[in-house]
Structure 1
Amino acid sequence: MRLNPRHVLSVFVVLFALGVASLANAGLPVEVDGEPLPSLAPMLDRTVPTVVNLATRGRVVEQSPLLDDPFFRRFFDMPQAPRERQVQGLGSGVILDAERGFILTNYHVIRRADEIVVTLHDGRRLDAEVVGTDPATDLAVLRVEAKGLNAVPVADSDALKVGDFVVAIGNPFGLGQTVTSGIVSALGRSGLGMESYEDFIQTDASINPGNSGGALVNLRGELVGINTAILTRGGGNIGIGFAIPVNMALQIMDHLVEYGEVRRGRLGIMVQDLTPDLAQAFGIPQTQGAVIAQVEPGSAADRAGLKEGDVVLRVNERSVRNSAELRNAIGLLRVGTEVVLDVVRDNRRIEVTAEVAEIRAATVEGRRLGRRLEGAAFGDITEDSPHYGRVQGVLVVSVESGSPAARAGLREGDLILSVNRQPVASVEELRRVIGDAGQRLLLNIRRDEGAFFLLLQ
């Protein structure tokens, strides 16, 4: 018996429709050979207007790396002559509050922007102001003045499961609003080194440059994540994209709207993943959790009675699989919040209640360290820094333009790893080593992805 290809197609369409129609929660406006064809178009008609296109314009100061070298400038008698150029960028954003005009996007989309123009789905172009930014999670909140905005409904991203269908909406390569679909490939992705607080949704829905800050929605059109990054070898999509869960994004947005910044809390502990080997060494059956490796004296953790060797399994009744999840859970809580930790200690499960404390960074002005560092400020690497737990050093918090520190070649964001070949891991160590130094200061600097030595005389 030969099957008519058209009949085979009809059977496939019927089966597909039955499988996804209830999930899509959409009507079936098209028919093929009398059979309904499923479509996401009705859902997208409601959802696409909640996603906006962003165009940014700003200025960056550039100068030759040779001009960063004081010896080169002195030898050739060349002053520092930084060059300024304009940069433009494209991205996406999601309207979360239509009444107040709040738009959520990625920090890296608007990081260098002096001007941000929002283009709505109906073609209106609006100037946006920055309400607040959080580089640690790569999120930012913008505000526009407009009527008739559409806000996206929000889902519970904690309820997502691997295999759920999702749709990405954004402005890839500046083409305009574009929709791609896929599934949730993985959850809780961390350790990628892209942000300080990582708990990504991984998806194979195509995400490309320009999609950043756009919406990842479920088949009901509810926001589950903010599209943020891709893993790629050549700059294009290879089916591995990452989105910030909307539950985390909303917590950050609340901070930014209320304070203009994120006021993170801390307990004062150093933690590491509970590996199978560590679990065996501690004599516990669990293989997921976070081990407290160090408790800072006088910290909130110390006052609560936490100890080295404690294994944290849950925070506020939510399971903790690794050290990154514990850090995320604490870092997103407001200062003064009470947190209940489910802990294993000496093969006994106990509950410990602690009050989240404020992150306070020790800082020092460069002029207090010596004339060569005047105009700069230095600080410890705090728990909200992407370098925390990964590198030991002292952060250059700020550098005044034209100051002795700037002329010496220091830049904001530099990490000082050592002074005169002596490692420095804190402001106090920096102060001590510089105090013992002679006329020369040989600084080992880490900048972006590179490192070099800088000699100050």
Structure 2
Amino acid sequence: MPASTYRRTTGLALSFALALAAATPAFASLPAAVDGQPVPSLAPMLAKVTPAVVNISTKTRVRARDPYFDDPLFGQLFGNQGVPRERVQQSLGSGVVVDAAKGYVLTNHHVVGGADDITVTLQDGRDLKAKLIGSDPDTDVALLQVPAERLQALPIADSSQLRVGDFVVAVGDPFGLGQTATSGMVSALGRSGLGKGFQNFIQTDASINPGNSGGALVNLRGELVGINSMIFTPSGGNVGIGFAIPTDLATGVMKQLLAYGRVRRGNLGVEVQDITPRIAAALGLKGVAGAVVTRVNDGSPADGAGLQTGDVLTAVDGKPVRGAQDVRNAEGLLPLGAKVRLSVKRDGATREVEATVAAAKIATLDGAKVDPRLAGVTLSDLTAEQKAQGLYGVALSGIKRGSRADAAGLEDGDIVVAVSQQRVMGVKSFPTTGKLGGRQLLLTVVRDGGVYYAVL
């Protein structure tokens, strides 16, 4: 077709399309009513919800690691003369205002954990500097506080009343695009075993994407039922399997962070393991459901309740126990002083016993008392959950900025498994100054599954 003919034809088609569009109603928008009845819409509810959902941006100064200068042998030969190099790492997430009068904002630990600078951006465009009240990595919950000026908070619902099939809406800031709402339903409840920590997730098919973390999951009344936390994805994109922390759990953690600055976890004083077919055969069990008791600590709540080695825990507060992780999960989510019902199978008979959750006893030690180079660091034994994962060593926490540990790049949560090539199993086996010596202290550290050296 000649170019002139093509232009004329295209022009006529475009003119016809524009004329048709002007002469016909737009079908992109729904009518206000059908047969006199208003069309259902989430817009009125979201108009009340979205001002309480905020964007969170963080800046974290991290030590720029160098494979040569970080090598202990290189340091011994040439000396580490320079000041540790740093770079600024930025991240985005979401949060929910839950108390407008006091400026409290709930979000995820993984959004703000370790951040040096936290900025909360409201829907009206205001940027507010946030203070971290406390953070709990085991439940992925963190609490911030911002200036309480013209804030709007979300009412909090009882998440225990949720049912599979209830409609929910996720609100957050995915990919930094700006506030976004997605709808779906509750797909499952009580999900756990999705990684580290204590979990009791709400599963939903409402789209949750990077940047939605810490945002709101609300019911159709605009009440907060969960804090969006993570997704399951084989490809990196949303596949309709998202998880939120129920408000019952999140608010329980919030109360402890406000009261103590941290979460004080309970403990039953019992060690358990999964039941394999061979263990089931040896114990005369018909199946592998439950968790077998391998140790009961003297004077513990489990000891007081009469538990014995070889018992099989089949339920906690009526919730079936599928394996050892379910028992550890229940322990970690129960508050101190809570009474818990345990269903126990022994010699073919099932009995119910009651135990009162007590504080977990974890040995701690001031690093300065071990060696001056460890001043500003708290050393503690690993938790029962960490030991159950096959980990050993000493956990680091409370690392003060400007300390030698901080300068060496150590972080809260790091696990020291060896000191100057001497293996460390716990606080009691941590070598003291008299045994360390030398100008430099070489620590073998485990972090996020990787192992590296730190030199103090």
**Fold-level similarity (TM above 0.5):** yes
Where does residue 192 of structure 2 map in the other structure?
190
User: Match of 1:425, as an amino acid?
Assistant: M
The DSSP-based 3-state class of the residue aligned with 2:183 is: strand
Give deviations 1:373-414, integer Å, cap 9, x for gaps: 77765321024x6x3411231124156778777788866543
Larger mean CA deviation between 102-111 and 420-429 belongs to 420-429
User: Match of 1:187, as an amino acid?
Assistant: L
Where does residue 425 of structure 2 map in the other structure?
425
Where does residue 395 of structure 1 map in the other structure?
394
1:34 to partner: Cα distance: 6.8
Quote the Cα distance in structure 1 between the aligned partners of 2:377 and 2:128. Answer: 38
Which residues of structure 1 form unaligned runs of 5+? 1-27
Give deviations 1:323-358, integer Å, cap 9, x for gaps: 333323322333333333232222233232323222
Indicate how the Cα distance of structure 1 residues 115 and 369 shifts in structure 2: closer, same or farther if over 3 A, else same. closer
1:196 to partner: Cα distance: 1.3
RMSD (CA atoms): 3.6
Identity %: 52
Where does residue 87 of structure 1 map in the other structure?
89
Indicate how the Cα distance of structure 1 residues 109 and 346 shifts in structure 2: closer, same or farther if over 3 A, else same. same
1:227 to partner: Cα distance: 0.5
Quote the Cα distance in structure 2 between the aligned partners of 1:358 and 1:448. Answer: 27
Quote the Cα distance in structure 1 between the aligned partners of 2:382 and 2:89. Answer: 30
Where does residue 170 of structure 1 map in the other structure?
172
Quote the Cα distance in structure 1 between the aligned partners of 2:455 and 2:254. Answer: 43
Indicate how the Cα distance of structure 1 residues 407 and 122 shifts in structure 2: closer, same or farther if over 3 A, else same. closer
The DSSP-based 3-state class of the residue aligned with 2:68 is: helix
Larger Rg belongs to? 2
1:331 aligns with 2:327: no
Which residues of structure 2 form unaligned runs of 5+? 1-29
Quote the Cα distance in structure 2 between the aligned partners of 1:199 and 1:276. Answer: 27
Contact 2:291 2:321 in 1 (8 A): yes
User: Match of 2:391, as an amino acid?
Assistant: Q
1:163 to partner: Cα distance: 3.6
1:269 aligns with 2:270: yes
The alignment covers a number of residue pairs equal to 425
Matches within 5 A, 1:41-440: 41-193=43-195, 195-233=196-234, 235-273=236-274, 282-283=283-284, 288-365=289-366, 377-383=378-384, 387-398=386-397, 413-417=413-417, 424-431=424-431
Give deviations 1:415-452, integer Å, cap 9, x for gaps: 344579886432334459x9999999986542333224
Give deviations 1:35-92, integer Å, cap 9, x for gaps: 7543222222222222222223343333324322221122234425311233332211
TM-score, length basis structure 1? 0.79
Give deviations 1:263-297, integer Å, cap 9, x for gaps: 11112212234567766665566764333222223
Indicate how the Cα distance of structure 1 residues 287 and 246 shifts in structure 2: closer, same or farther if over 3 A, else same. farther
Quote the Cα distance in structure 2 between the aligned partners of 1:165 and 1:401. Answer: 46
Contact 1:167 1:217 in 2 (8 A): yes
Indicate how the Cα distance of structure 1 residues 41 and 256 shifts in structure 2: closer, same or farther if over 3 A, else same. same
Indicate how the Cα distance of structure 1 residues 408 and 39 shifts in structure 2: closer, same or farther if over 3 A, else same. closer
Quote the Cα distance in structure 1 between the aligned partners of 2:298 and 2:33. Answer: 70
Indicate how the Cα distance of structure 1 residues 377 and 220 shifts in structure 2: closer, same or farther if over 3 A, else same. closer
TM-score, length basis structure 2? 0.79
Contact 2:72 2:442 in 1 (8 A): no
1:365 to partner: Cα distance: 5.0
Where does residue 22 of structure 1 map in the other structure?
none
Contact 1:106 1:212 in 2 (8 A): yes
Quote the Cα distance in structure 1 between the aligned partners of 2:240 and 2:269. Answer: 38
Indicate how the Cα distance of structure 1 residues 143 and 453 shifts in structure 2: closer, same or farther if over 3 A, else same. closer
The DSSP-based 3-state class of the residue aligned with 1:354 is: strand
Quote the Cα distance in structure 1 between the aligned partners of 2:122 and 2:134. Answer: 21
1:228 to partner: Cα distance: 0.8
Where does residue 15 of structure 2 map in the other structure?
none
User: Match of 2:304, as an amino acid?
Assistant: R
Where does residue 446 of structure 1 map in the other structure?
446
